Structure 1
Amino acid sequence: MSAVPMIDAQRLSLMLNELRLPTIKHIWGDFAAQADKEGWPASRFLAALAEHELAERDRRRIERHLAEAHLPAGKTLDCFAFDAVPMISKAQVMALCAGDGWLEQGANLILFGPPGGGKTHLAAAIGLALVERGWRVLFTRTSDLVQHLQVARRELALESAMTKLDKYHLLVLDDFAYISRDQAETSVLFELISVRYERRSLLITANQPFGEWNRVFPDPAMTLAAVDRLVHHATIFEMNVESYRRRTAQARRTGAGRPATYTTPKVLETIRDNQNENDDLASDNQNRH
């Protein structure tokens, strides 16, 4: 710590509080001592303080954005099995994770495929990568968001709810085809798509192709209009692979430590011996009685 009179240090601390520079408030003393010892010019000292303040602000901002994103835990690109989904280009996914080329334009990303194919994992991993790069993301089940918007409409606060969602550069709508066909639900979902069209991005995971979206939007005209808005500026991944969960379960069943998939003659013999023993004991008990 440099030899600064206590009253000056206290005054400086108050000024840094007023300027909302908490990191500089905590590190300036050590940096000042190092600058005095090594003969730093004033510009280097000031730049070092500013760099640390900015870095800490970035860290805190990312922490806040991660907390608000509600991303499922453990879904990262590092643990996504790209080799199990050969139709997905890892290079293309990494490019999407930068966000610059599509989030700024309000473009969309749509992931199709059967259950268990990795759609939710990939969507969450992309969302995490975008948050780490400074974008704001919200991950939600489509049905949960639709219910939230329905409540807002009943309370005459739908416009306010849409405005709050507008702060997110990307909304991840998971399990898009799992909402019911209630007219009120499809109405708020269509309104969300329309409000964000060409302004803010959507990432949608769905089990059903567009041709079966009449299950989501019972009105054919609404279905056509929704699909038209979603695909106008969109990247579409078709992940038509075997269920990852099913493959994992099968591997567990046939892996080390699992029961044999067939019974050997020796095991059969042991089972028969045990069964004969049990039968003899049962017979003896009956004879006693």
Structure 2
Amino acid sequence: MNTPHTSIDAARLSFLLNELRLPAIKTLWPRFAETADKEGWPAARFLAAIAEHELAERDRRRIERHLAEGKLLPGKTLETFAFDAVPMISKAQVMALAAADAWLEKGANLLLFGPPGGGKSHLASAIGLALIENGHRVLFTRTTDLVQKLQAARRDLALEAAINRLDRFDLLILDDLAYVTKDQAETSVLFELISARYERRSLLITANQPFGEWGKVFPDPAMTLAAVDRLVHHAIIFEMNVESYRRRHALERKRGPGRPASQATPANLAEAELAE
């Protein structure tokens, strides 16, 4: 049974741990202290044990915060990505990019090109998730949504501040770049974002159209050339020219059980789409 002196010490210790912002140690120390007393732990072992739990809890809370702010696509992980359906993508290379941060430190970019439904958004979000789990800050956003926010900031004479706030993210994922409206005001804020992060902070961009079609995104040819130049200067480019997952799944549903698998062709793809 605790003596009054012990109770006072516990209350004082709880206060001190609050002041030091050590919530995990505040919660765990009585249990660890009891174990240490029973097993005769040296003081150093007791201190190391509770310190390790505090650090682990801080890591967990940080990852939770970063996941909440990252706005990644739900359920999109590297484990659920069908690498076998995208044979031109090296799984080993993707895993290395997700696990290492050398390319982020250099402000390098990752560009994913391919037709709709080929898994670009899934892969981009999955890489973002792995990086968050490894301690980095990532934001996933549709390009059009971010552009609209930056336009609003420009109208409020706060564009520079808005772009600077994005610096806290080690990686900014711009999904569906090609869907930006070909409007000078919209594309100019996008260009300013690309220029501001150049060689400082990394971008991951998904796009349905190759660089040769980016005149549809940036109406000014000089701006198109300058944007592409900045993006590719330090970039890893993945070409994901594969059959759409959605089309393939539509074909499988139409084929039904027990029928042999077949290679998709333009004819049967069109037939499946018309039947949807």
Superimposed CA distance per residue, residues 211-250 of structure 1 (whole angstroms, 9 cap, x where no aligned partner): 0100011111110000000000000000000001110111
Question: Is 1:216 matched with 2:231?
Answer: no
Contact 1:87 1:238 in 2 (8 A): yes
Partners of 2:196 and 2:165 in 1: CA distance: 12
Question: Is 1:233 matched with 2:234?
Answer: yes
How many angstroms does 1:104 deviate by? 0.6
Aligned-partner SS, 2:99: coil
Query: What is aligned with 1:91?
Result: 92
Query: What is aligned with 2:162?
Result: 161
Within a 5 Å distance, the mapping from 1:194-205 to structure 2 comes to 194-205=195-206
Query: What is aligned with 2:253?
Result: 252
Superimposed CA distance per residue, residues 108-150 of structure 1 (whole angstroms, 9 cap, x where no aligned partner): 0000000010000000000000000000000000000000000
Partners of 1:255 and 1:140 in 2: CA distance: 36
* Partner AA of 1:150 in structure 2: Q
Aligned-residue RMSD, C-alpha: 1.4
Contact 1:170 1:200 in 2 (8 A): yes
Question: Is 1:171 matched with 2:172?
Answer: yes
How many angstroms does 1:160 deviate by? 1.2
Aligned-partner SS, 1:106: coil
Partners of 1:197 and 1:70 in 2: CA distance: 23
Superimposed CA distance per residue, residues 171-204 of structure 1 (whole angstroms, 9 cap, x where no aligned partner): 0000001001111101100000000000000000
Query: What is aligned with 1:107?
Result: 108
Query: What is aligned with 1:277?
Result: none
Within a 5 Å distance, the mapping from 1:1-289 to structure 2 comes to 5-256=6-257
Partners of 2:189 and 2:165 in 1: CA distance: 15
How many angstroms does 1:252 deviate by? 1.6
* Partner AA of 1:129 in structure 2: A
Contact 1:117 1:240 in 2 (8 A): yes
Partners of 1:84 and 1:198 in 2: CA distance: 33
Structure 1, unpaired ranges of 5+: 259-289
* Partner AA of 2:183 in structure 1: D
* Partner AA of 1:22 in structure 2: P
Report the TM-score, using the length of structure 2 for normalisation: 0.91
Query: What is aligned with 2:273?
Result: none
* Partner AA of 2:93 in structure 1: Q
Aligned-partner SS, 2:116: coil
Question: Which portions of structure 1, spanning 4 or more consecutive aligned residues, are displaced by more than 4 angstroms?
Answer: 1-4
Structure 2, unpaired ranges of 5+: 260-276
* Partner AA of 2:158 in structure 1: A
How many angstroms does 1:255 deviate by? 2.4
Aligned-partner SS, 1:20: coil
* Partner AA of 2:94 in structure 1: V
Query: What is aligned with 2:263?
Result: none
Aligned-partner SS, 1:97: helix
* Partner AA of 1:6 in structure 2: S
Percent sequence identity is 77
Q: Which has the larger radius of gyration?
A: 1
How many angstroms does 1:256 deviate by? 2.8
Alignment CA distance shift 1:49-1:257 (3 Å): same
* Partner AA of 2:214 in structure 1: W
Superimposed CA distance per residue, residues 227-285 of structure 1 (whole angstroms, 9 cap, x where no aligned partner): 00000000000000000111011112222399xxxxxxxxxxxxxxxxxxxxxxxxxxx
Partners of 1:25 and 1:118 in 2: CA distance: 45
How many angstroms does 1:98 deviate by? 1.7
Partners of 2:256 and 2:80 in 1: CA distance: 21
Partners of 1:132 and 1:49 in 2: CA distance: 23
* Partner AA of 2:145 in structure 1: D
Partners of 1:152 and 1:78 in 2: CA distance: 38
Contact 1:2 1:33 in 2 (8 A): no
Partners of 2:180 and 2:101 in 1: CA distance: 31
Aligned-partner SS, 1:205: strand
